[in-house]
């Protein structure tokens, strides 16, 4: 067997339990050199957990990993980095108060940058990395305030800088515009052609088809199959993902469509969106379509009072409502699940219980959260 036939990574019998709950069972998987390998599966199937085991974020409960035919222990992310394995997280983690350039060179203690920071050199190299990605980000500015897309580009730049052999991208395209996706795919193909290996996790079949060589499907913590992408039709992939044919999966909903629950008329916020009107009836799910930047999120934020519109009418159950802040929206029975769950969706440092009750207004509602006057929330001892 020639060297290039030896898989870069071989996983054998990898299992993982969290607090006794099994989330990955006996996964065998080989990753070849110079391939883009997709991991597909429904939410919670175990894709991210498997990726994190390879990247040293989690230790497997059982099983072994080999790198180039040698068994390896990947004890932590730094150990993975030293082996040339980089994970680009589903939700980028960075140091918001450090500059983009500083974030790009994080973890580079080995080459002598740990004790002595050569600022000019660091800035120059950071610029070069961003240029390579084709993104115009000022590398001297702090990470805080960068869009998620740009933060992700910084993470990708970090992987390139550390000369990784395996780059794991966990749903990298979710926050990207179509143009940014094209840039990313161009970079991924170039890295593959240099002989590097990429794990690409995505829920978007068309992206997997456009980019990947092989696809591994996970279902309920089990690895179901690994095949060349060209050998599978979309219907095969969906059947493997959900364990039965699609037509059995798509159940007709039984709710009857009722009266108009929410009506938006002529909603306008100059520069963001113009004259938006639509109706949502009881028992309906309505999608807001459009490209990134088209204003979908802004319309939702306006309806919910996060940044109210300048003109237009919102009616709830037929009655016009004046929603100037989220509190008003909640009082009218609206709920909002934001785009960036890490930043705006949850209070990371509070308990699950406090998070769940946080949106319930008033002294009696929250239970563990005490909404004081003037928008201040007092934490009561739980
Ligand atoms: N740190 C953790 N502690 C406890 N349970 C976890 C932890 N991380 C993941 N899980 C559970 O493991 C299962 C697999 O999760 P995982 O995040 O790997 O799924 P996924 O395939 O990446 O899903 P998605 O497509 O939603 O990202 C889920 O049931 C999840 O709740
Ligand atoms: Mg995941």
* Residue from 19, 21, 46, 205 whose mutation best tests the ligand 1 pocket (most atoms within 8 A of CB): 46
* Partners of residue 371 on adjacent β-strands: 377
Alpha carbons 91 and 152: distance in angstroms, whole number: 8
Cβ contact 8:68 at 8 Å: yes
- 119 CA distance to ligand 2 centroid (A)? 36
Return the biggest CA–CA distance within the chain: 74
* Partners of residue 9 on adjacent β-strands: 31, 67
- 367 CA distance to ligand 1 centroid (A)? 28
pLDDT tens-digit readout, 269-279: 998 899 999 99
**E strands in 211-368:** 214-219, 222-228, 260-269, 273-281, 311-316, 319-321
Looking at residue 367, its pLDDT comes to 41
pLDDT at 23 over 70: yes
pLDDT band at 20 (very low <50, low <70, confident <90, very high): very high
| Count, residues in the chain | 382
Mean pLDDT of the 2-13 span: 88
Alpha carbons 143 and 150: distance in angstroms, whole number: 9
Nearest C-alpha to atom 6 of ligand 1 is from which residue? 18
* Residue from 16, 17, 18 whose mutation best tests the ligand 1 pocket (most atoms within 8 A of CB): 18
Closest listed ligand to the CA of 52 = 1
Looking at residue 356, its pLDDT comes to 80
Q: In what helix (H) or strand (E) does residue 146 lie, and over which residues does it extend? A: none
How is the chain split into domains, by residue range? Answer: 3-249, 253-338, 346-382
Alpha carbons 375 and 353: distance in angstroms, whole number: 20
pLDDT band at 262 (very low <50, low <70, confident <90, very high): very high
- Domain 3-249 and domain 253-338, same fold? Reply is yes
94-130 core/surface letters (b: 16 or more CB in 10 A; e: else): beeeebbbbbbbeebeeeebeeeeeeeebbebbbebb
Nearest C-alpha to atom 31 of ligand 1 is from which residue? 44
CB atoms within 10 A of CB 380: 11
Distant-in-sequence, close-in-space partners of 50: CB < 8 Å, separation ≥ 6 = 11, 14, 24, 27, 29, 39, 218
pLDDT tens-digit readout, 191-220: 899 899 999 999 999 999 999 999 999 999
Tokens 């990726």 sit on residue:
51
Alpha carbons 246 and 237: distance in angstroms, whole number: 10
- 97 CA distance to ligand 1 centroid (A)? 29
- 341 CA distance to ligand 2 centroid (A)? 14
Closest listed ligand to the CA of 169 = 2
* Residue from 17, 39, 41, 47 whose mutation best tests the ligand 1 pocket (most atoms within 8 A of CB): 47
- 46 CA distance to ligand 1 centroid (A)? 6
Tokens 């469509």 sit on residue:
257
Closest listed ligand to the CA of 241 = 1
Nearest C-alpha to atom 18 of ligand 1 is from which residue? 46
Closest listed ligand to the CA of 24 = 1
Q: Which of 176, 183, 111 minimizes the C-alpha distance to 150? A: 176
Looking at residue 76, its pLDDT comes to 94
- 5 CA distance to ligand 1 centroid (A)? 32
pLDDT at 366 over 60: no
pLDDT band at 56 (very low <50, low <70, confident <90, very high): very high
Q: Which CATH architecture has domain 3-249?
A: 3-Layer(aba) Sandwich (3.40)
- Name all residues whose Cβ lies below 6 A of ligand 1: 18, 23, 41, 43-49
* Partners of residue 93 on adjacent β-strands: none
Would you say domain 253-338 falls under CATH 3.40.50.300?
yes
Looking at residue 368, its pLDDT comes to 45
Q: Which atom of ligand 1 is nearest to the CA of 45?
A: 21
Please state which of the ranges 74-78, 148-152, 222-226, 301-305 shows the lowest mean pLDDT.
148-152
């Amino acid at each position: 067997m020639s060297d290039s036939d030896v898989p870069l990574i071989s996983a054998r019998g990898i299992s993982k339990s969290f607090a006794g709950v099994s989330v990955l069972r006996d996964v065998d998987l080989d990753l070849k050199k110079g391939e883009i390998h997709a991991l597909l599966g429904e939410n919670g199937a175990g894709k991210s957990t498997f990726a994190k085991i390879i990247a040293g974020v989690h230790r497997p409960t059982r099983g072994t990993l080999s790198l180039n035919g040698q068994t390896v222990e990947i004890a932590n992310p730094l150990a993975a980095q030293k082996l040339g394995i980089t994970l680009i997280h589903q939700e980028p983690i960075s140091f918001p108060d450090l500059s983009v350039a500083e974030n790009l060179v994080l973890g580079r203690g080995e080459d002598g940058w740990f004790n002595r920071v050569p600022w000019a050199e660091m800035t120059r190299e950071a610029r070069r990395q961003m240029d390579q990605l084709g993104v115009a980000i000022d590398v001297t500015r702090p990470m805080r305030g960068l869009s998620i897309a740009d933060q992700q580009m910084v993470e990708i730049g970090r992987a390139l800088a550390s000369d990784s052999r395996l780059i794991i991208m966990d749903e990298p395209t979710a926050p990207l515009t179509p143009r940014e996706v094209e840039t990313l795919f161009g970079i991924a193909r170039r890295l593959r052609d240099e002989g590097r290996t990429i794990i690409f996790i995505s829920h978007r079949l068309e992206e997997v088809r456009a980019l990947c060589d092989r696809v591994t499907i996970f279902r309920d913590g089990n690895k179901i199959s690994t095949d060349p992408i060209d050998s599978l039709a979309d219907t095969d992939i969906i059947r493997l993902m959900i364990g039965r044919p699609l037509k059995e999966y798509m159940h007709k909903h039984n709710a009857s469509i009722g009266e108009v629950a929410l009506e938006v008329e002529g909603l306008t916020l100059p520069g963001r969106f113009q004259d938006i009107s639509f109706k949502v009836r009881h028992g309906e799910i309505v999608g807001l379509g459009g490209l990134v930047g088209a204003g979908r999120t802004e319309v939702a934020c306006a309806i919910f009072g996060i940044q109210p519109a300048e003109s237009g009418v919102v009616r709830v159950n037929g009655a016009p409502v004046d929603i100037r802040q989220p509190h008003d929206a909640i009082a009218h029975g609206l709920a909002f699940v934001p785009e960036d769950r890490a930043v705006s969706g949850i209070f990371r440092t509070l308990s699950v219980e406090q998070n769940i009750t946080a949106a319930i207004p008033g002294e009696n509602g929250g239970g563990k959260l005490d909404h004081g006057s003037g928008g201040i929330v007092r934490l009561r001892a739980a």
